[in-house]
Amino acid sequence: MNPTTIVGLMLIMASSAVAQQPAKGGKTGAKVNGIITMFGGDSPVVGAGVTILNKSDYRFVTSTITEPDGKYEVGELTSGTGYFVKFCHDKFTPVFAEVTAPTTKNMTLNPRTETLVYWGKKADSLTAGKAVNHVSFGGTWEHLFDDSPVSPEGKAQVARVLKERGAKPELWGKDRQIISALFVAYSKADPMTLNTVEQALWSNETVSPGLDPLIIADIQAQRTMWQPVLRKQSPSDPCGDPYFPWRH
């Protein structure tokens, strides 16, 4: 075989090898998977929506629904890329999370409405090993529901339980005055009316003038957080509207 032929074969082999490599920044089949359960046990949340969004502009990427065992999997994502994930179900408070594909992301959801016993268990889990009458507990309440958001009804029920256990928001310091006031407002509110109030605010309806303005502001802040997502929602997105997940 002459040198020219050998060089030609080497060039062909090199070109083939390059062609077989995935392009940088392209989809590589990376997956995000996990299981969604209800707080307070291992009960799977069946039929929950899982939506992947572009992290830079909230653009819809893909979505799926959890299986009967609460498991989900979405693929064809770009390895090493960050995404937002929405977890939703019409009976549970929706959750936002950040992930980098590929990864496993399990999630615990809280029902929008539940019994006092349930919310008592929620308070137990959130305060395990913490002294609720201590000044530092203000920071705990401030970030109480960061990883697993709770409905306004849930906040009111948990606040009432913590108040009964000796939580002292007046000790939380000047830098947490708003948080302290919000805690007090929720502890005094009627939990059974707050989900109706939340639905009214999401629907741009008027609410009772007797409700503490801090609670209204808190609910509206959640709605504001979701606005970029609502503007980018896709007909394929099962989490189109976080209060009415299945409505588009």
Among candidate residues 77, 109, 141, the one where a domain is terminated? 109
Same domain, 159 and 90: no
Write down the H helix ranges in the chain.
3-20, 116-127, 137-142, 152-164, 177-188, 191-202, 213-231
Among candidate residues 63, 80, 109, the one where a domain is terminated? 109
Mean pLDDT of 1-12: 41
The domain that contains 73 carries what CATH number?
Answer: 2.60.40.1120
Q: Is residue 24 part of a domain?
A: no
pLDDT digit string, tens, across residues 104-115: 999 999 898 888
Name the region of 41 (left: φ>0; alpha: ψ -120 to 50; beta: rest).
Answer: left
- What's at 55, amino acid-wise? K
Domain hosting residue 172, numbered range? 116-226
Query: Residue 123, exposed/middle/buried by CB under 10 A (0-12, 13-18, 19+)?
Result: buried
Same domain, 176 and 147: yes
Q: Which residue has the tokens 């509206």?
A: 220
**Total of domains in the chain:** 2
- What's at 113, amino acid-wise? T
Q: Is residue 17 part of a domain?
A: no
Q: Is residue 206 part of a domain?
A: yes
> For residue 112, what are the CA distances in angstroms to 29, 37, 103, 143, 199?
35, 14, 28, 19, 11
Q: Is residue 137 part of a domain?
A: yes
pLDDT digit string, tens, across residues 67-80: 999 999 999 999 99
**End-to-end Cα distance, the chain:** 67
pLDDT at 165: 87
Q: Is residue 87 part of a domain?
A: yes
Same domain, 221 and 123: yes
Whole-angstrom Cα distance, residue 172 to residue 42? 35
Among 231, 229, 183, which residue's Cα sits nearest to residue 54?
A: 229
pLDDT at 98: 93
Q: Is residue 10 part of a domain?
A: no
Look at residue 22 and tell me whether its pLDDT is greater than 70. no
Same domain, 120 and 95: no
15-24 burial, b at 16+ Cβ within 10 Å, e below that, comes to eeeeeeeeee
Neighbours of 38 (CB within 10 A): 20
pLDDT higher at 11 or 228: 228
pTM given for the model: 0.75
Same domain, 122 and 220: yes
Whole-angstrom Cα distance, residue 93 to residue 152? 10
Q: Is residue 57 part of a domain?
A: yes
Name the region of 240 (left: φ>0; alpha: ψ -120 to 50; beta: rest).
Answer: alpha
Q: Is residue 244 part of a domain?
A: no
